[in-house]
Amino acid sequence: MTGPRNSSNPNAVVLSRSMVQLRVSLLLLLALLTAPACWAGSAAVALPDRHAAEAAQLMLESGGNAMDAAIAAAFVLAVTYPEAGNIGGGGFMLSYMGQEAAFLDFRESAPKTAHRDMYLDEGGNFIQHKSLIGGQASGVPGTVSGLHSAHLRYASKPWKTLLQPAIGLARDGFAVPAALARHAKERSAEIGNKTNFANYFGGLRTGEIFRQLQLAATLERIAHDPDDFYHGKIARQITAQMVKTNGLITLADMAAYKAVWRNPIQAQWRGYTILSAPPPSSGGVALIQLLQMRDFADVHFKDLWHNSPRYIHLLAEIEKRVFADRAQYLADPDFVEVPIAELLDMNYLAARATQINPTQISPAIAVPPGLESTDTTHLSILDSKGNAVSLTYTLNWDFGSGVVVEGAGFLLNNEMDDFSAKVGVPNKFGVIGNARNAIAPGKRMLSSMTPTIFLHKNKPALVIGTPGGSTIFTSVMQVILNLYDFSMPLQAAVDATRFHHQLPDATLIRHDRREITSTTRTKLQAMGYIVEPNSWGNLGDIQVIRIEGEKVQAAADSRNRGVARLIP
């Protein structure tokens, strides 16, 4: 039944594509035929690939809840979406289960031997490639701890059941989509022989069946005992890989890691309760600041059409102020005091909105912090009982550090680049920071991930999130405004061209690869802006579910290979 092992990939076997698809289809059909018909209303999923969508749908249709679907989908993405789906990274989960709002922080943490100046040379210069490629780029992974913690609190199905779709796809394989083959080829060329990445992913070809036998065995171990990842054989495999690659993660680091439950950020906006991500993510604070300042500056937005030059300029003015606050005040709340209440105070935001220049670019020096003194992936799920999960997790850049744990078959993250390795020096996403986000043992690096849920009368009204590094919260904000300012249909709101602006560059506006008009570009340039395509491609990969009364809609961003489904 199997073909010859691919000698360039120790973790892959080429199979008959039709044979694998038949086997997977039969397994799904058997599960669906035995599923109890227990749902009363519409459920929905919006995920970045069809395999994860199928796993989530299977869990919901077989009687599981939104958390069951989210966990199953997250493990599948570790197999079929290796650019960002992971067990070697970390992230954040916002949930609304049984009308209880909760936020789970499973962000990676710095190893115990990490230190503030570890990426500086003798002259104090930042050596960025060390924070991006190789063993020293990785923080202690949090995904397995996070998903298991979520299972213990909210899931209804057995842990082993939730991992079966991922195990099957790793063992039996899946057809490689063109985007994955292209990304893997590009990353292989970028990394070269600096890591073992090409040995595992360099041979991917569009349409071929990709089996990951080492990863299947790892997932089997996690299904049997999730603690194995932090205390058993998998932990030893990770630390052995650290020794080979001059990394810092030790068995003590693995054993010490714990996911943390935190209170989600909450705010009122236009009759909705916004639930979003607290620090160590900057996303929730930034998103609420963006939306509130837009409303305080409403006089400037009157009669503007969507993505007009003046509209883009006004959003850029707001984004400047948000990024100034992000750089100055936000970091891991377990290490520094973060003034969340002050940053979200209505009087403060109203005052910040008055500083917007409606006709000219505010230079960076005129936008100080206001108070005194690519690749990620996202999934949104709603079950028939009104439970919702918004989950964003990541390896950071595409395929993380490029280091694959040999014998275990999974990639490790390069999240250490999200610390401020040197004050005032931008990271890979162009974001600057200060000493509050400096590297320290056990500390969690600042993030921009923005898993978000809107509530209306204590029921979910919107479940949304996206990847995109520092562009995450600006992308989420634009889709929200497309819906609530411009009354766009859901898919159109997601697919519309997006723009991004951030400090320290006071004049650069980036747009995704969607078409922009020459008139818009010319008028922005006449104001003094530099207008360019985003350097790493499209801005975000939005996955969103919207609920209006009894009407449920779901949309997956057409920029990528996402799938949205309604489940009656």
Distance CA 177, CA 94 (A): 29
Say which range, 119-133, 237-251, 296-310, 416-430, has the weakest mean pLDDT. 416-430
CA distance 332 to 309: 36
Do 422 and 118 contact (CB within 8 A), yes or no? no
Residue count of the chain: 568
Among 483, 403, 415, 480, smallest CA distance to 448 is for 415
Q: Could you confirm whether 376 is annotated as catalytic?
A: yes
Strands 2-5 and 499-500: unpaired
Predicted pLDDT of residue 535: 81
With contact defined as beta carbons under 8 Å apart, do 309 and 527 qualify?
A: yes
Helices 143-154, 66-80: axis angle to 10 degrees equals: 160
pLDDT at 9: 41
**pLDDT greater than 70 at residue 229:** yes
Q: Taking the alpha carbons of 396, 253, 223, 171 in that order, is the dihedral positive or negative?
A: positive
**pLDDT, average across residues 295-304:** 96
* pLDDT, tens digit (0-9, with 9 covering 90-100), for 51-91: 999 999 999 999 999 999 999 999 999 999 999 999 999 99
Separation between Cα atoms, residue 432 and residue 425, nearest integer Å: 6
Question: For the residues 153-181, what does the mean pLDDT come to?
Answer: 98
CB neighbourhood size of 350 (10 A): 14
Peptide linkage before 280 cis (omega within 30 of 0): yes
| Structural domain spans, the chain | 2-261+395-430, 264-359+449-567
Q: Is 55 helix (H, G, I), strand (E, B) or coil?
A: helix
Integer Cα distance of 546 and 42 in angstroms:
12
For residue 504, cis peptide bond before it (omega within 30 degrees of 0): yes
Closest to 288 (Cα-Cα) out of 317, 307, 306, 265: 265
In 3D space, the residue among 277, 307, 275 whose CA is nearest the CA of residue 447 turns out to be: 277
Beta-strand runs (E) in 31-179: 43-47, 90-97, 100-106, 174-175
Tens digits of residue pLDDT in 380-412: 999 999 999 999 999 998 899 999 999 999 999
Task: Find where tokens 């199979």 sit.
Answer: 15
Q: Which residues contact 335 (CB under 8 A, 6 or more apart)?
A: 440, 443
Backbone φ, ψ for residue 547 (5° rounding): -125, 120
Query: pLDDT at residue 511 above 50?
Result: yes
What is the residue whose two structure tokens read 């990426």? 119
Banded pLDDT at 431 (limits 50, 70, 90): low
Among 547, 543, 558, which Cα is nearest to 53's? 543
Q: At what angle do helices 309-329 and 518-527 cross, to 10 degrees?
A: 60
**DSSP H/E element including 170:** helix 159-172
CA-based nearest residue to 451, from 543, 343, 558, 337:
543
Query: 443-458 burial by CB neighbour count: b if 16+ within 10 A, else e?
Result: bbbbbbbbbbbbbeee
pLDDT over 50 (residue 14): no
pLDDT band for position 425 (cuts 50, 70, 90): low
- Asked if residue 436 has pLDDT above 70, the reply is yes
State residue 8's pLDDT score.
Answer: 35
Q: Which of 161, 376, 377, 471 is catalytic?
A: 376
Q: In what order do the strands lie in the sheet with 530-533?
A: 499-500, 508-511, 530-533
Sign of torsion over alpha carbons 103, 490, 308, 513: positive
* Averaged confidence pLDDT in the chain: 90
Q: What is the mean pLDDT of residues 36-40?
A: 30
Ramachandran assignment for 255, one of left (phi > 0), alpha (psi -120 to 50 degrees), beta (any other) = alpha
Q: How many CA atoms lie within 13 A of 193 on its CB side?
A: 0
Average pLDDT over residues 334-339: 95
Phi first, then psi: give them for residue 41, nearest 5 degrees: -135, -170
Any idea which of 95-99, 157-161, 418-422 has the lowest mean pLDDT? 418-422
Pairing of strands 209-210, 174-175: antiparallel
Please determine, looking at this structure, whether the domain spanning 264-359+449-567 carries the CATH number 1.10.3720.10: no
Quickly state the pLDDT bin for 531 (edges 50, 70, 90).
Answer: very high
pTM > 0.85: yes or no = yes
> In the predicted model, is pLDDT for residue 147 greater than 70?
yes
**Residue carrying structure tokens 């570790």:** 78
Q: φ and ψ at 117, to 5 degrees? A: -105, 20
* CA-based max dimension of the chain: 68
